Amino acid sequence: MTVIRKLAALRKQIAIWRSSGETIALLPTMGALHEGHLRLARLATKKCDRAVVSIFVNPAQFAPHEDLARYPRDLKADLALLDDIGIDTVWAPSLAQVYPENFATTIVPAGAALEMETQFRPQFFTGVATICTKLFTQVTPDIAIFGEKDYQQLQVIRQTVRDLDLPLKIIGAPTIRERGGLAMSSRNVYLNAEQRALAPMLYAQIKTIAGKIAAGGRIGPAAANAAKALTKAGFKVDYVEVRDAATLGAVKTRGDRPLRVLAAAWLGKTRLIDNCAVK
């Protein structure tokens, strides 16, 4: 496995693969890899001839008061995990490679990016859409893989790729969970034992909402009851929403289009997000 840190070297590698007609899959990550990331990485190796994993903790998607400084980083451990599963190349650019002096262009998504995460992290999707567009133009992959764990992010990226005619396919992959249902996340290491025990309740509640709606229950009360239960248990809820699964637009009734339940809530200083389909 090769670790590339300079854009010129990356482009050289990509050109060699392209000249022999090989296809390329990209998995963008911020490192601190867990089994959720590794499942996506294995999928990347299956889908294309070459699999590139990018590791870059992107400052542009963190607000000044957020956890950029303490975000877990362990490049050595990440590389060992990726080597084990047959990743060809890790693209681990420096900050200066990604944001050179006088960097001044951003992608500002609306549509699927409006509301939910954006209400609480206004800078987030601009940072995400900008870094992902850069990664797509750097790596020029045939496909890029994103986890449904960050469902709004997945839909925003799909929208960005569609709106800007970027020549790649976005693949969404299912959320990988701990045994109790908690979605795996690099941020789970922040949780203390008590919070860790409570955390699976977030997924349990969104599943309950999905179940009630699937059984004909009303959307508003189902979401409100879940938010109330989470608050009572000690979560600080940012949002619990039921949305159109494709556009993430508001919905009042079940209708016949696919719906998604999405939620974000704090346990102490740790923010958890999760989502599930209404089946």
Residues with active-site annotation: 37
State yes or no: residue 274 binds ligand AMP (CB under 6 A): no
- Residue whose CB is less far from ligand AMP, 149 or 271: 149
Q: Which residue has the tokens 């990726």?
A: 82
Count of CA atoms in the C-beta half-sphere (13 A) of 76: 0
User: Which amino acid belongs to residue 15?
Assistant: A
DSSP state of 180: T
Cα gap 144→44, rounded to integer Å: 8
Question: How many CB atoms sit inside 10 A of residue 229's CB?
Answer: 16
- Residue whose CB is less far from ligand AMP, 148 or 241: 148
- Residue whose CB is less far from ligand AMP, 135 or 183: 183
Cα gap 162→143, rounded to integer Å: 13
Cα gap 103→112, rounded to integer Å: 26
Per-residue x/- mask for ligand AMP, residues 110 to 149, rule CB under 6 A?
------------------------------------xx-x
Residue (of 59, 57, 53) closest to 80 by Cα position: 53
- Residue whose CB is less far from ligand AMP, 160 or 185: 185
Interactions with ligand AMP, residue window 198-257 (CB under 6 A):
none
State yes or no: residue 262 binds ligand AMP (CB under 6 A): no
Residue (of 181, 213, 196, 205) closest to 263 by Cα position: 205
Cα gap 17→227, rounded to integer Å: 50
Q: Choose the stretch contacting ligand AMP; rule: CB under 6 A; options: 82-90, 100-108, 114-122, 175-183.
A: 175-183
User: Helix, strand, or coil here: 73?
Assistant: coil
CA dist 271 to 3, 67, 138, 178, Å?
Answer: 31, 10, 31, 17
State yes or no: residue 175 binds ligand AMP (CB under 6 A): yes
State yes or no: residue 191 binds ligand AMP (CB under 6 A): no
Q: Choose the stretch contacting ligand AMP; rule: CB under 6 A; options: 17-25, 32-40, 45-53, 245-253.
A: 32-40
Minimum separation from the CB atom of position 148 to ligand AMP (A): 6
Strands 50-55 and 169-173: unpaired
Minimum separation from the CB atom of position 128 to ligand AMP (A): 9
Q: Choose the stretch contacting ligand AMP; rule: CB under 6 A; options: 28-36, 85-93, 213-221, 266-274.
A: 28-36
Minimum separation from the CB atom of position 118 to ligand AMP (A): 17
- Applying CB under 6 A, the residues found at the interface with ligand AMP are 29-30, 36-37, 40, 146-147, 149-150, 173, 175-176, 183-186
